[in-house]
Amino acid sequence: MSMRVTTLMMSALLLAAVAACGAAGSSGSPAVAGGAISVTGAWVRAAAAGATSAAYLTIVNGTAADDALTAVSSPVARSASLHETSVDASGMAGMHQIDRIAVPAGGSVSLEPGGYHAMLMDLAADLEAGSTVSLTLTFSVAGPIQVQAEVRAS
Q: Is 44 exposed, middle or buried (0-12, 13-18, 19+ CB in 10 A)?
A: buried
C-beta of 52 vs 61, nearer to Cu ion: 52
C-beta of 21 vs 142, nearer to Cu ion: 21
C-beta of 58 vs 61, nearer to Cu ion: 58
**Strands 143-152, 37-45: parallel, antiparallel or unpaired by DSSP?**
parallel
3-state secondary structure 8-51: HHHHHHHHHHHHHCCCCCCCCCCCEEECCEEEEEEEEECECCCC
In the window 43-82, what residues touch Cu ion (CB under 5 A)?
A: none
Measured in degrees and rounded to the nearest 5, phi and psi for residue 19 equal -60, -35
CB 32 within 8 A of CB 148: yes
Q: Is 111 in the site for Cu ion (CB under 5 A)?
A: no
C-beta of 35 vs 50, nearer to Cu ion: 50
Stretch that binds Cu ion, among 56-64, 69-77, 94-102, 137-145 (CB under 5 A): 94-102
Phi-psi map region of 59: left, alpha, beta (phi>0 left; psi -120 to 50 alpha): beta
Q: Is 83 in the site for Cu ion (CB under 5 A)?
A: yes
Quote the distance between the C-alpha of residue 50 and its chain's center: 16
Contact with Cu ion (CB under 5 A): which of 68, 95, 111, 118? 95
C-beta of 45 vs 83, nearer to Cu ion: 83
Binding mask 1-40 for Cu ion (x = CB under 5 A): --------------------x-------------------
Residues in contact with Cu ion, total (CB under 5 A)?
4
Q: Is 119 in the site for Cu ion (CB under 5 A)?
A: yes
Per CB under 5 A, residues contacting Cu ion are: 21, 83, 95, 119
